[in-house]
């Protein structure tokens, strides 16, 4: 199979054409209940199918959270496979939110599960954890380069617990989070219009001016909506790198289901607000 155009280039085009919005597919039990669905595989399938139907032909990125499918075992993973396939067929880029991280052959196997073109779970990009050392991601980086896919590396996450690791200061005076950003800058060097190796940076973190976010790659930004961040906050948080931000909204859109029109309207409102905030034409 011929390698895809690099993920960064495909993402830049999708964001420019559809607007810089990533909608999560997070079928946790409380959302299933809000939609009037049972917390079982049938409810999971209905939820996921509805989100894909509503979003995949109009938003730049869909981000399924693998854990909410895995909790139903093989039948849940089968629903995830179908959701990924249908979302990509409709034109959305799929970022698999699995946060995998390990060493050696195990990391390679995780990468193959999501970034190998003949895998049932083949996605355009994968979230990964670098906290066994950035070098532990090498198998995933190599496979992503080979297949035109991408990675989003956890760097400065929106959860309060993340700070005890990510803001820890190394012997060279840099924080762990800053070190991850520096590695990604190297990965994306010379790539255009956008590198394929992004960082996860929370939109709720406030002033990040002490960090160099200009990694020539995308910044996946959770926290818009239910976690308290607003589209208008993005320029203040991300500064000059704001055009490369992929804001992630989950509950803020999903709570409007199961009505497809209401879901689409909610996503459209967020996309318009984000576009205005980051001054993307």
**What is the residue whose two structure tokens read 């617990």?**
161
Q: Can you list the pairs that 206-210 forms with residues at least 24 positions away whose Cβ atoms lie under 8 Å?
A: 206/236, 206/237, 207/236, 207/237, 208/156, 208/237, 208/238, 208/239, 209/239
Return the DSSP state at 33. H
Catalytic residue from among 63, 82, 99, 230: 99
Span between the terminal Cα atoms of the chain, in Å: 35
197: tokens are 């190796």
Please say if 230 is a catalytic residue. Answer: no
Locus of tokens 């950035």: 134
Q: Phi and psi for 222 in degrees, rounded to 5?
A: -75, 160
Report, in this order, helix, strand and coil percent for the chain, each rounded to 5: 50, 15, 35
Helices (H), ranges, the chain: 7-18, 29-34, 41-55, 66-70, 74-89, 104-115, 138-147, 163-166, 176-187, 234-238, 251-254, 260-278
The answer to whether 13 and 19 are in contact (CB under 8 A) is no
Kindly write down the DSSP assignment for every residue of 175-187, as one continuous string: BHHHHHHHHHHHH
Backbone dihedral region for residue 139 (phi beyond 0: left; psi -120 to 50: alpha; all else: beta):
alpha
Residue numbers annotated as active site: 99
């Amino acid at each position: 199979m011929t390698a895809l155009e690099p993920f960064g280039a495909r993402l830049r085009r999708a964001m420019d054409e559809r607007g810089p919005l990533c909608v999560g597919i997070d079928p946790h039990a409380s959302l299933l209940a809000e939609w009037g669905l049972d917390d079982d595989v049938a409810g999971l399938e209905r939820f996921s199918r509805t989100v894909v139907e509503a979003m995949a032909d109009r938003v730049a990125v869909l981000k399924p959270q693998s854990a909410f499918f895995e909790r139903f075992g093989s039948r849940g993973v089968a629903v995830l496979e179908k959701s990924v396939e249908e979302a990509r067929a409709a034109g959305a880029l799929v970022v698999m939110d699995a946060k995998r991280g390990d060493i050696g052959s195990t990391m390679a196997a995780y990468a193959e599960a999501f970034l190998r073109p003949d895998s049932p779970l083949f996605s355009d990009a994968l979230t990964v954890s670098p906290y066994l050392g950035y070098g532990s991601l090498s198998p995933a980086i190599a496979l992503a380069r080979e297949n035109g896919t991408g990675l989003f590396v956890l760097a400065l996450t929106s959860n309060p617990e993340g700070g005890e690791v990510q803001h820890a200061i190394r012997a060279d005076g840099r924080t762990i989070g800053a070190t991850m950003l520096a590695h990604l800058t190297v990965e994306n060097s010379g790539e255009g219009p956008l590198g394929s190796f992004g960082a996860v940076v929370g939109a709720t973190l406030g002033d990040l001016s002490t960090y160099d976010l200009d990694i020539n790659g995308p910044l996946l930004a959770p926290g818009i909506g239910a976690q308290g961040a607003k589209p208008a906050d993005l320029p203040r948080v991300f500064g000059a790198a704001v055009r490369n931000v992929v804001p992630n909204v989950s509950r803020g859109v999903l709570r409007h289901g199961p009505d497809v029109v209401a879901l689409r309207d909610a996503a459209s409102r967020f996309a318009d607000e984000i576009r205005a905030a980051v001054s993307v034409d």
